[in-house]
Amino acid sequence: MEQKIELVLKGKKYEIEFPNVGQLRRIASNKALLSNGMYNSIYTMASEDGDEALDIIDVESTLNVLAPKFVEDLKPQTISGLGLKDFKEISKVFKSEFMPWFNGVKAELRK
């Protein structure tokens, strides 16, 4: 399994490397921060609104750490500030390309 992936986000290519342990910790910490400490509560809500909120939190917490150049290139330079259309485009790539790669690398590391 490759330790890095190239994603095309908003028409530009970005190379993302598998995170080191410090980055994994920051991603998890960002999830808690962006959810105001309510990530697990939102998860257990089992609602469409909760699922959408978690998607936003997961994308933002991960890309802020692993793809800071992408976030910097955004207008208004935050994922939280994106419109729904732009976020949907990014989320689609995140779910269809990034997450299968990321989960595959994590599975290899856990063997």
Give the tens place of pLDDT for each residue, 34-81: 999 999 999 998 899 999 999 999 999 999 999 999 999 998 888 999
- Which residue range(s) make up the domain with 29? 4-102
Q: How many domains does the chain have?
A: 1
The burial of 102, by beta-carbon neighbours within 10 Å (0-12 exposed, 13-18 middle, 19 or more buried), is given as middle
Kindly state whether residue 84 falls inside one of the protein's structural domains. Answer: yes
- The mean of the pLDDT values for the chain is 93
Kindly state whether residue 111 falls inside one of the protein's structural domains. Answer: no
Kindly state whether residue 110 falls inside one of the protein's structural domains. Answer: no
pLDDT, position 72: 92
Q: Which helix (H) or strand (E) holds 110?
A: helix 99-110
pLDDT, position 106: 86
Record the pTM.
0.90
Kindly state whether residue 68 falls inside one of the protein's structural domains. Answer: yes
> pLDDT over 70 for what percent of the chain?
99
Kindly state whether residue 54 falls inside one of the protein's structural domains. Answer: yes
pLDDT, position 77: 80
Kindly state whether residue 108 falls inside one of the protein's structural domains. Answer: no
